[in-house]
Chain A
Amino acid sequence: MMKWYGKYKMMKFTRSILLLLFLLTIGYACDYVEAPYFENHETGGEIEDVQSNVLILDFTGHTCKSCPKAHRIIHQLTEVYGDRIVPVAFHLGYFARVSGDKYSMDFNTGEGAELESYYNFVSYPIGLVNTLSKNSLSPYPSWATESAGILEKEALIAIDATYQFDQVASKLNVDVSLIPVGTLSEECGPNLRLAMYLTESHILAWQKDEDVTPMDVENYEHNHVFRKAFGSIWGESVSLDDVGISNPLLLARSVTFEDSWLPQNSSVVLFVYNSETMEVIQSILVNLEI
Chain B
Amino acid sequence: MVKTKLILASVIILFFSVSSRAQEIPGRISGNFQLDAQTYKADTLIGARAAPEKLLLNSYANIRYDQGGFSAGLRFEANLNTLQGIDPAFDGVGIPYYFIRYRTEDLDFTVGDFYEQFGSGILLRTWEDKFLGVDNAIRGFRIRYTPKPGIQITGLIGKQRHFWELGEGIVRGLDGNISLNELLPSLQTSATRLAFGGSFVSKYQADGDPLYILPENVGAWAYRFNLSRGGFQLESEYSTKINDPSADNNFIYKPGNAILVNASYATSGLGVNLSIKRVDNMSFRSDRNQNLNKLMLGYLPPNSKSYTYSLMTLYPYASQANGEIGIQTEISYRMKSGSLLGGKYGTQITLNASLVNDIDKSAINDSISIGAPGSLGYKSDFFKIGDDKFYRDINVEIARKLSKKWKANIIYQYLNYNQLVMEGKGGLLSANIAVLELTWKFKSRNTIRMEAQGLWTKEDRGNWAMLLAEYTISPHWFISVSDQYNYGHPEEVKRIHYLYGSVGYIKEATRIQLSYGKQREGILCVGGVCRNVPAMNGFSLSISSTF
Contact = CB atoms under 8 A, between A and B. Distances in A.
Interface in A220-260: none
Interface in A31-59: 31-33, 35-39, 41
Complex A-B, nearest 6 residue pairs according to Cβ-Cβ distance, in ascending order: A29-B202, A31-B215, A21-B155, A141-B289, A30-B219, A145-B208
Contacts of B84: 120
B204 A22 contact: no
Contacts of B147: 11
Given A14-B145, A69-B250, A149-B208, A211 B371 contact: yes
Given A17-B155, A32-B242, A66-B424, 7 more contacts: A37-B212, A39-B213, A65-B420, A69-B250, A77-B211, A80-B210, A212-B369
A58 to B, nearest CB: 15
Contact of A39 (B49, B209, B376): B209
A168 interface: no
A76 B213 CA distance: 14
A65 B424 contact: yes
Contact of A142 (B212, B213, B289): B289
Interface string A127-150: 000000011011111101101110
Given A14-B143, A39-B211, A80-B210, A139 B247 contact: yes
A15 B146 CA distance: 11
Contacts of B174: 18, 21-22, 25-26
Given A119-B88, A208-B424, A139 B289 contact: yes
Interface in A174-221: 208, 210-212, 215
Contacts of A21: 143, 155-157, 172, 174
A69 B245 CA distance: 14
A123 interface: yes
A80 B211 contact: yes
A30 B218 contact: yes
A72 B292 CA distance: 20
A14 B142 CA distance: 11
B6 interface: no
Contacts of A33: 213-215, 243, 253
A2 interface: no
Contact of B143 (A17, A141, A145): A17
B52 interface: yes
A10 interface: yes
Interface in A144-167: 144-145, 147-149
Contact of A24 (B85, B172, B371): B172
A28 interface: yes
A64 interface: yes
Contacts of A10: 104, 107
A236 B371 CA distance: 44
Contacts of A65: 420, 424
Interface residues of A, number: 57
A201 to B, nearest CB: 21
A63 interface: yes
Contact of B243 (A32, A41, A208): A32
A122 interface: yes
B218 A31 contact: yes
A17 B157 CA distance: 11
Contacts of A140: 247
Contacts of A147: 210
A145 B89 CA distance: 21
A28 B204 CA distance: 10
B153 interface: yes
B510 interface: no
A39 B214 CA distance: 9
A1 B250 CA distance: 60
A259 B138 CA distance: 55
Nearest to A136: B89
B375 interface: yes
B291 interface: yes
Contacts of B289: 138-139, 141-142, 145
Contacts of B288: 141
Contact of B172 (A15, A29, A117, A212): A29
- Determine which residue in B147, B210, B290, B425 has the highest number of CB atoms from chain A within 10 A of its CB, and name it: B210
Contact of A37 (B157, B173, B245): B245
A38 B374 contact: yes
Given A30-B242, A33-B214, A18 B153 contact: yes
A120 B532 CA distance: 13
A33 B374 CA distance: 11
B213 A28 contact: no
B246 interface: yes
Contacts of A210: 424
Interface string B195-224: 000001110100011111111111100000
B111 interface: no
A14 to B, nearest CB: 5
B87 interface: yes
B216 A122 contact: no
A29 B204 contact: yes
Contacts of A15: 145
A37 B374 contact: yes
Contact of A141 (B216, B246, B369, B371): B246
A144 B172 CA distance: 26
22 contacts: A11-B147, A14-B143, A18-B145, A18-B174, A21-B155, A26-B219, A31-B242, A35-B253, A38-B374, A39-B213, A63-B425, A95-B424, A120-B84, A122-B86, A137-B89, A139-B247, A139-B289, A139-B291, A141-B289, A144-B211, A211-B372, A212-B369
Interface string B68-106: 000000000000000011111101000000000000101
